[in-house]
Structure 1
């Protein structure tokens, strides 16, 4: 489960990321709650989230081109430093009492611009640290790392916001980027696995898109992740609205819900790390359960049942993301991996500028329960459709066997059906 942590460079990277991720989760909670208290509107929270991810939708593929073209370690030193500055700027504005909602919008957009380059560079740098044999394990542990921070960050942020306000959460986030910057500086460059750097040239963006379109094992997971990310991952809107409107609680309850979701997400990431190999059928099955549980949670009558369902939603949602991420990375030629992963991230988080305002409006007009149910049902339908398309691309059919001791549902090659018919 933890085999890639034997590698020194990856251990440094993981330790720095854990501290930085904790600060990131603290800022996310503080940012959402600050916007809600400044405006009293779920739509405003949706706009904030949308602005943070809009640059990924607009420029995400160009970030992948840069990640393929430039050395990743120096590139990450630059992006991590820039992200630290956005956190510190928001901290100064909030602690000085000058913060307005447009300040939050602006810093969210600037953070999104940096993420356009940081995300594909960080995703593909993993293979340089651990090599191809440990890539799937390291991708899973990256997600476990992010979710471990999510256990701590929201809970601490909830207490901190209640006690002294949002400004100190932003300050901690800005300072937390010192940890990954130090980790990158302390790495042994001789131990890194060399990667093919793409020279500057024309048509590199189109080349990446053509590569993905020619491989069904890449395009359909990206499509599924796009639907799930756009319509099923609007938790800043849903959780703030459920806490505020349905359960009549405060920032501490919001932080607790995020931490409980992280418990499930962490379990999903560790189970993925233990499996090692990434199977697309696991991704599709997890997406089915994710959508169904989200729709069910929409009608939970009380806080604790809702919280329990959010743990399961977190587990299966993370399983979808990790399985798609690692299967795409391992199936992609290293020369185009940055562009493919930028498309993956663009589709996953770039749909937020569409989903955020849409589900913010649905939440304001029809309430959080209807909004969450719609998001879950769309994710469920998308999982069914992509599962059928992948089965068709792999020339598979669904076999149902209700006999005791047999696997009741399984995908088998279509030729097997023909052989059985001939034998009969």
Structure 2
């Protein structure tokens, strides 16, 4: 059950209004929030371009029509629905490590999809991509929500939504150009590799920064 008393924030300081820049400073100073923002930005920019890549795979690679393209979207939706249901059964707060692991696995799944030889095998991998995409973004959303102070939560979530949705206009033209220049399969694999690399680098840096604290 929800506690409605938690819907209201008390003890706010109205004499010190916060600016939009304060939200970026807040995210930069908090390790979990900073890590999630970086990983999700790369994942959204290079990995979450299903509307482009599935259309290109259906038409250019497998030479299928609109119905087959629609079926690929259904496969992603099935995975996303399954992933969202699975995410509701997790009781422990996710944290940035789960986001990084989820993004890494999503990148691997994307690279696996890129090398599938037939339409059927490609369609079979897409539910996995959809499930990993939704569970990772849900974990990121939860981490940002729970990791921010109540008076900063609105700004923090605004930055998260900006990164998640606003990265697409940057990544989509690049994805389209790559697909035209070097092929659709390479483009999907490239997006997965970039996502994996970003998650891995942030994970390594995070563990190194935590090492002195464990001594």
Report the TM-score, using the length of structure 2 for normalisation.
0.89
Q: 1:392 to 1:310 in 2, by over 3 A?
A: same
Aligned with residue 318 of structure 1, among 134, 153, 159: 134
Residues 16-415 of structure 1 correspond to what in structure 2 (within 5 A)? Answer: 130-131=2-3, 193-195=7-9, 204-277=19-92, 278-395=94-211, 414-415=214-215
Is 1:198–1:335's contact at 8 Å kept on the other side of the alignment?
no
Distance 1:131 1:359 in 2: 44
Structure 1 vs Structure 2 CA RMSD:
2.3
Secondary structure of 2:89 counterpart: helix
Distance 1:353 1:243 in 2: 22
Aligned to 1:148: none
Shift of 1:199: 5.8
Residues 36-91 of structure 1, C-alpha deviation per residue, up to 9 Å, x if partnerless? xxxxxxxxxxxxxxxxxxxxxxxxxxxxxxxxxxxxxxxxxxxxxxxxxxxxxxxx
- Between structure 1 and structure 2, the one with the greater Rg is 1
Shift of 1:311: 0.9
Report the TM-score, using the length of structure 1 for normalisation.
0.47
Is 1:264–1:315's contact at 8 Å kept on the other side of the alignment?
yes
Is 2:35–2:96's contact at 8 Å kept on the other side of the alignment?
no
Secondary structure of 1:395 counterpart: helix
Q: Unmatched 5+ residue regions in structure 1? A: 5-129, 133-190, 397-412, 416-424
Secondary structure of 2:45 counterpart: helix
Distance 1:312 1:387 in 2: 22
Is 1:297–1:306's contact at 8 Å kept on the other side of the alignment?
yes
Distance 2:135 2:208 in 1: 23
Secondary structure of 1:275 counterpart: coil
Shift of 1:198: 8.3
Secondary structure of 2:7 counterpart: coil
Higher relative contact order (CA 8 A, sep 6+): 2
Q: 1:390 to 1:271 in 2, by over 3 A?
A: farther
Shift of 1:281: 2.6
Distance 1:373 1:207 in 2: 37
Is 1:216–1:393's contact at 8 Å kept on the other side of the alignment?
no
Q: 1:253 to 1:395 in 2, by over 3 A?
A: same
Q: Unmatched 5+ residue regions in structure 2? A: none
Shift of 1:276: 2.2
Is 2:32–2:95's contact at 8 Å kept on the other side of the alignment?
no
Residues 82-120 of structure 1, C-alpha deviation per residue, up to 9 Å, x if partnerless? xxxxxxxxxxxxxxxxxxxxxxxxxxxxxxxxxxxxxxx
Distance 2:142 2:130 in 1: 18
